[in-house]
Amino acid sequence: MVYRLLRGVAFAAALLLLGGLTARAADPNPITIGFGMALTGGLAPNGKAALFAMQIWEKEINAKGGLLGRQVKLVYYDDQSNPATVPGIYTKLLDVDHVDIVVSGYGTNMIAPAMPVVIGHNRTFLALFGLAVNTEFNYPKYFALQPTGGMTPKEEFARGFFAVAMQQDPKPTTVAMIGADAEFPRNAMDGARVIAKEAGLKIVYDKTYPPTTSDYTPIVRAIQATNPDIVMVASYPPDSVGIVRAASEIGLKAKVFGGGMVGLQSTSIKVQLGPLLNGIVDYDFWLPWSKLASPESLAFLKQYQAEAPAMGVDALGYYLPPFAYAYMQVLRQAVESAGSVDDDKLAEALRKGDFHTIVGDIQFGPNGEWKEPRVLAVQFQGVKSNDTEQFRDPKTEVILWPPALKTGDIEYPYSSVAK
């Protein structure tokens, strides 16, 4: 009897030990990835689409067993498209939620105010669509998921726009530039000034406006008074809509108009503006009809578009969703390469890795930017109405630059095709 009892106790102890080993092998605590995201406010059309793409990745990775044997959980808060909310969000993520990995939300204006908090905690920071944010901070654990790469990201953002303009006949000689008094427009305009000088252009107008501006007609009238050949705009979505409408209202006479207008890539804004987009030359980063598209990216887009209506996000998802998904792909590969969520190991993996994503292969340079820039210059052409389906047609958004990705020629000058 005693023997059987002892044998039973030993068996039970063995089960407990095995259970403990199993629990440690399959950690029940998820790997948490924390960030703020613009879910309301002016950046919400892009922010909500980015979040949905990240959630697609979260669902897929967990179905495959997660990372390092652990499930993954996204922990996020609405930054309301307001930079003032960002430091508090990141302080909470790091000091209260104790997230394993911290990444950025969407946009330069939201990334910059997170940097001091992240740096103060010595955390690795992967950032989504931030223009030259690290120029000011020089933080060695910062890595940008945006094609404005190289050692001069500010200039690379504007290079294609000016390259296209300077190829035209008659060649432009003057430029006006405007942007909101905020982080992204200031960086974009810094780069534009350098490129304009390299091109021998005379800057006849160079001003910023308050981010709270709602009436852009006086601004566009002031630009028109200087009679510029090129009008370069660095703006976030609400501004972009207002400036396009004002340009149409007064009949802007520029030869080339656009450049850095965030928001014109979003389906809802394309539909809202419709034919007013015609003739505008703007930046973009990826389109499904470019040579950048791969079977992987098109499969992602098909899944995204099938679910987008129910989620209330950007119907086509050409702009931010592929990069938000790629953002998570880079993070997964870095974690697996490091074999850890330790920040020093993650930073080393990001610094040395060659990452395969749905938007192409990515390597980071010493400043945390992509080693090779890849910004498109595109022009809206032949937009006839305010419906979504026409924007599936490659002819409505023609790639003008770089030459290797070109899909058509510019309609020039802007004033002759604008509506």
Predicted structure pTM score: 0.92
Q: Is the pLDDT of residue 8 over 80?
A: no
b/e map 179-190, b = 16+ CB within 10 Å: bbebbbbbbbbb
Both tokens assigned to 287: 């389109």
Q: Which residues contact 94 (CB under 8 A, 6 or more apart)?
A: 34, 102, 117, 118, 121, 123
Q: Is the pLDDT of residue 222 over 80?
A: yes
Q: Is the pLDDT of residue 144 over 80?
A: yes
Q: Is the pLDDT of residue 83 over 90?
A: yes
What average pLDDT does range 109-138 have in this prediction?
A: 97
Q: So what's the pLDDT on residue 13?
A: 42
Q: What are the tens digits of pLDDT across the range 338-386?
A: 999 999 999 999 999 999 999 999 999 999 999 999 999 999 999 999 9
Q: What are the tens digits of pLDDT across the range 253-296?
A: 999 999 999 999 999 999 999 999 999 999 999 999 999 999 99
Q: Is the pLDDT of residue 2 over 70?
A: no
Q: So what's the pLDDT on residue 347?
A: 98
Q: Is the pLDDT of residue 10 over 90?
A: no
Q: Is the pLDDT of residue 152 over 70?
A: yes
Beta-carbon-side half-sphere exposure of residue 159 (alpha carbons within 13 Å): 17
How far apart CA 376 and CA 400 sit, in angstroms, is: 7
Both tokens assigned to 69: 């044997």
Residue ranges and CATH numbers for the domains of the chain are: 31-151+293-362 (3.40.50.2300), 153-289+374-417 (3.40.50.2300)
What Å distances lie between residue 332 and 133, 165, 211, 247, CA to CA?
23, 40, 36, 44
Q: Is the pLDDT of residue 325 over 60?
A: yes
Q: Which residues contact 115 (CB under 8 A, 6 or more apart)?
A: 125, 133, 137, 139, 142
Q: What are the tens digits of pLDDT across the range 154-195?
A: 999 999 999 999 999 999 999 999 999 999 999 999 999 999
How far apart CA 322 and CA 304 sit, in angstroms, is: 9
Residue 418: band (very low, low, confident or very high) from pLDDT cuts 50, 70, 90: confident
Beta-carbon-side half-sphere exposure of residue 306 (alpha carbons within 13 Å): 7
Please, what is the end-to-end C-alpha distance for the chain in angstroms? 96
Q: Is the pLDDT of residue 11 over 60?
A: no
What average pLDDT does range 65-73 have in this prediction?
A: 98
